[in-house]
Amino acid sequence: MDSLTIPRPDDMHLHLRDGAALASVVAHTAATFARAVVMPNLKPPVTTTAQAVAYRDRILAALPAGTRFQPLMTLYLTDTTPPDEIARAVDSGVVHAVKLYPAGATTHADAGVQHLDALDATIDAMARAGMPLLVHGEVTDGEVDIFDREAVFLERFAAPLLARHPSLKLVIEHMTTAQAVAFVRAGGPRVAGTITPQHLLLNRNAIFAGGLRPHHYCLPVLKRETHRQALVGAAVSGEPCFFLGTDSAPHARDAKEAACGCAGCYTAPHALALYAEVFDQQGALDRLADFASGFGADFYGLPRATDAVTLVREPAPVPEAFPFAGGEVVPLRAGGTVGWRVVDG
């Protein structure tokens, strides 16, 4: 198969930032994707429906003329998010999910949740409305080894949460372990998981290949090869609970190449080609359409896209960097090539 046409995909986990950074990156996603679930970890975070509506307007204003890209907005859950805010979010028609960052887990997560147990009324409002809770599934307990933080979160927090809220829709974002794959599979149709290109293509050796590689550092951090293989198996399985979410997370080059570098891989410009490489290696290109363009929309109760993009098997160079808010951002595979070119989109 040297060319593949699929419905225009959706990115169910994306960081677009704000201001000049937003203006630098949004066109990369909009060129290929129909919609994206936009993360709310701005500074200050997007905690209210009114803020989400205003942020959506800024995203739409930053799009190149004529683009039909639709941002799907999320709220940032805090210890004080009231059930009323969920009602406003549902009524708005533009907020599609709520994101749980355990306090301190990652970029701009300091305002995140410290006491999940105390949020049952708010989470119950989400369950009743069918609004998914998206989780950054890592404990922040410094005593837990960083490579175990996802598996421990699933046991300590995600499993009890599902038991307390039997109809809550839950997404384990950017899954990185075999334990997450098993957890999502066991959770039935109300639990899903997104998978990033970097967690499909790289294992943790990539962070240390010949020296420290800050552009391979993201959170949850890359895991060992057996986990990467479990994720690849999940992605190409054809099971509707696994779908595309890039977690494309741009940071300026100097914020990554630093004594204490930021977490995040920038994949938006070549994301679909990177996924196509994985599905091709597995002889599963026929399953890319559902993973990239079908299952995410289905889970969120949205119509599938009606227009299409075509991938052509042809090497495409990846630039060393892209302009980013007066500086530059280094994409995954910078200076290399990807094996597919998106010709329509």
Per rule CB under 6 A, is residue 207 in the interface with ligand DOR? no
Per rule CB under 6 A, is residue 107 in the interface with ligand DOR? yes
Sites for ligand DOR among residues 130-159 (CB under 6 A): 136
The CA-atom distances, in angstroms, between 46 and each of 50, 121, 258, 330 are 9, 20, 27, 26
Residues in contact with ligand DOR, total (CB under 6 A)?
10
Residue number, 131 or 265, with CB nearest to ligand DOR: 265
Per rule CB under 6 A, is residue 106 in the interface with ligand DOR? yes
Per rule CB under 6 A, is residue 263 in the interface with ligand DOR? yes
Q: For the window 264-303, what string marks contact with ligand DOR as x by the rule CB under 6 A? A: x---------------------------------------
| Minimal distance, residue 315 CB to ligand DOR, in Å | 27
Residues in contact with Zn ion, total (CB under 5 A)?
1
Catalytic residue among 247, 290, 307, 344: 247
| Cα–Cα dist 324/341, whole Å | 23
Residues 340/37, Cβ–Cβ less than 8 Å? no
Per rule CB under 6 A, is residue 249 in the interface with ligand DOR? yes
With CB under 5 A as the contact rule, the residue among 150, 247, 277, 290 that binds Zn ion is 247
Per rule CB under 6 A, is residue 244 in the interface with ligand DOR? no
| Minimal distance, residue 305 CB to ligand DOR, in Å | 26
| Minimal distance, residue 15 CB to ligand DOR, in Å | 5
Per rule CB under 5 A, is residue 138 in the interface with Zn ion? no
| Minimal distance, residue 39 CB to Zn ion, in Å | 5
Residue 290's binding partner out of ligand DOR, Zn ion, none, with CB under 5 to 8 Å set by partner kind: none
Active site residue 247: yes
Per rule CB under 6 A, is residue 194 in the interface with ligand DOR? no
Residues 21/325, Cβ–Cβ less than 8 Å? yes
Other Cβ atoms within 10 Å of 325 Cβ, number: 17
The CA-atom distances, in angstroms, between 287 and each of 13, 45, 76, 295, 341 are 20, 36, 32, 11, 18
Which residues in this chain contact Zn ion in the complex, by CB under 5 A?
247
Binding site for ligand DOR (CB under 6 A): 15, 41, 106-107, 136, 218-219, 249, 263-264
Q: Provide the annotated active-site residues.
A: 247
